[in-house]
Structure 1
Amino acid sequence: MLANASSTPTDSIVKADLEYELKCGINIGGTAPWSMPREIRSIESYNPRFNGVIEGDITRWMSTNSHWGISTGIRIESKSMNTGANVKSYKTEVIDDGSKVSGYWTGYVNTKYSTTLVSVPVMANYRLGDKWKFRAGMYLSYALNREFTGYVTDGYLREGTPVGQKLQFTDGKRGTYDFSGNLRKLQPGVQFGASWLANKHLCVNADMEFGVNNIFESNFKTVTFNMYPIYLNIGWGYKF
């Protein structure tokens, strides 16, 4: 009898409550205000670029047969985009003939945003039957690199104030800008999603991520409206 009891050690019960998963996918979306600012008159182009994601998760279920569990992990991901827009009285700072000039831009503006992040999600999980798993929670991302650059052209800059001296950027002339150093390194957000178990090991995943802070540091006032990363992560996972 002692031999039979020792053949079912406690750690085997703990392992039965743990679930490991390796995921990969892509982020689809952009970094934008919650609502369209009045300065932006039209979106002329949008390129989401390729935003790869790889993630490893561990889920601890409350018990072997429980519907509820808690998960965490580590995710390496990119979030980037290129956009072009026509704007009016858009506050910015550009480099003109080697000098920085700030003011209010009217015309075309092109923006490139790119960042690579290490993210740690903490999620509540609910499994429905043998096939479906739903989750919701929060994440904290750390930016390994940050880029927010672009140029303005086909318009004019009112220097200093909306009625300041007019600087023309026409006939192919451009003014460039680089606000990369003003982006936050830490980016918290909320996330919710679902998984469908296609077979014993293969899962199909979808997660929606919303940043809760402006991507720019709080002391940065050149861009007057807040911008948030809003991305849909879709892909597949392997459950061990």
Structure 2
Amino acid sequence: MKKYIIILAAMLTAGTNLVKAQSSEHKGLLWSSLHGLDYEFKAGVNIGGTSPLPLPKEIRGLDSYSPGLAITLEGNATKWIDARQKWGISLGLRLDSKNMNTRATVKNYGMAIFNDTGGKVEGLWTGGVKTKVKMSYITVPLLANYKINDRWKIVAGPYFSYMIDGDFSGDVYEGHLRTPDATGSRIDFEGENSAAYDFSDKLRHFQWGVQVGGSWKAYKHLTVHADLTWGLNDIFQKDFKTISFAMYPIYLNLGFGYEF
């Protein structure tokens, strides 16, 4: 988290210095306009979740869901490549957070829980699972832009993320664990009894996916945007086998921006 705060502060400082420089010297903006360049700073929130697709047979029901607070900050530059400035390519740098909290009912769900002595017991869990997912990224979106008219614009393309902080943990409750497999010995959890698990150290640092969305220019410089980001590789490392299915981050980003 400390790294995230330092990077965020550096990005905001750089953005502030850029705004001051451009305010004091209009030549920069004029040069950018003549060369088909636009700059934008954006802020928003991510709403969504990290989920397997399709839902596997192990997950019997989703009992509750909470998206959590997931703020994003981004700066990007767009180069318009035709005379009418209809088509362009943008490159950005985004500070991303993707959070969720869920409760689910599962059957024969791969699990590794902490026991009373601090060790781990692995097996197949049947019962309730509470999961907290909280991940922070540095993300680079590379997007094609198309202006429908002076107010509406759509974008699409890949993004590449590096995780700087990640948490995938939770508790199991009201159920039983079979270890090491479905025919093994049974450990029951009833009433207030629960056990914790933590797969944070198995999260993959490099992730990538696709982004599709659009923006509306509300005023001369103010924009409102909505972007869907869909991860295309598993959030867990290849050698992680406890959870037997891949999980993908799928989030809708809603926010506003200031266009120079």
The CA deviation string for residues 27-66 of structure 1, in whole angstroms up to 9 with x for no partner, is 0100001111101111111110011011111000014523
CA distance in 2: counterparts of 1:92 and 1:60, whole angstroms: 48
Structure 2 counterpart of 1:103, one-letter code: G
Deviation at 1:12, TM superposition (A): 5.0
CA distance in 2: counterparts of 1:201 and 1:66, whole angstroms: 17
CA distance in 1: counterparts of 2:215 and 2:59, whole angstroms: 37
Are 1:139 and 2:170 an aligned pair?
no
Partner of 1:6 in structure 2? Answer: none
Question: Residue 172 of structure 2 aligns to a residue in which SS?
Answer: strand
Are 1:178 and 2:203 an aligned pair?
no
Partner of 1:123 in structure 2? Answer: 143
Matches within 5 A, 1:53-202: 53-97=72-116, 98-202=118-222
Greater CA deviation, 94-103 or 225-234?
94-103
Partner of 2:21 in structure 1? Answer: none
Structure 2 counterpart of 1:30, one-letter code: G
Larger proportion of strand? 1
CA distance in 2: counterparts of 1:141 and 1:133, whole angstroms: 24
Larger proportion of helix? 2
CA distance in 2: counterparts of 1:225 and 1:128, whole angstroms: 40
Which runs of 4 or more aligned residues in structure 1 lie more than 3 Å from their structure 2 counterparts after TM superposition? 11-15
CA distance in 2: counterparts of 1:135 and 1:151, whole angstroms: 39
Which has the greater radius of gyration? 1
Number of matched pairs: 231
Could you tell me which runs of 5 or more consecutive residues in structure 2 were left unpaired when the two chains were aligned. Answer: 1-26
Deviation at 1:111, TM superposition (A): 0.5
Q: 2:248 aligns with which of 213, 228, 235?
A: 228
The CA deviation string for residues 76-122 of structure 1, in whole angstroms up to 9 with x for no partner, is 01101111011111111111212211111111111111011110000
CA distance in 1: counterparts of 2:175 and 2:114, whole angstroms: 15
Deviation at 1:154, TM superposition (A): 0.7
Q: 1:15 aligns with which of 13, 23, 33?
A: 33
**Contact 2:156/2:213 (<8 A) preserved:** yes
Could you tell me which runs of 5 or more consecutive residues in structure 1 were left unpaired when the two chains were aligned. Answer: 1-8
CA distance in 1: counterparts of 2:186 and 2:92, whole angstroms: 52
Structure 1 counterpart of 2:191, one-letter code: D
Deviation at 1:71, TM superposition (A): 0.2
**Contact 2:32/2:38 (<8 A) preserved:** no
Q: TM-score, normalised by structure 1?
A: 0.93
CA distance in 1: counterparts of 2:236 and 2:169, whole angstroms: 13
Structure 2 counterpart of 1:200, one-letter code: K
Q: 1:216 aligns with which of 209, 229, 236?
A: 236
CA distance in 1: counterparts of 2:32 and 2:42, whole angstroms: 23
Question: Residue 33 of structure 2 aligns to a residue in which SS?
Answer: helix
Deviation at 1:148, TM superposition (A): 0.5
Structure 2 counterpart of 1:24, one-letter code: A
Structure 2 counterpart of 1:130, one-letter code: D
Partner of 2:18 in structure 1? Answer: none
Q: Tell me the C-alpha RMSD between the 2 structures.
A: 1.4
The CA deviation string for residues 170-212 of structure 1, in whole angstroms up to 9 with x for no partner, is 1311111110000011110100110111111111101000000
CA distance in 2: counterparts of 1:58 and 1:204, whole angstroms: 17
Structure 2 counterpart of 1:15, one-letter code: S
Structure 1 counterpart of 2:161, one-letter code: S
Q: TM-score, normalised by structure 2?
A: 0.86
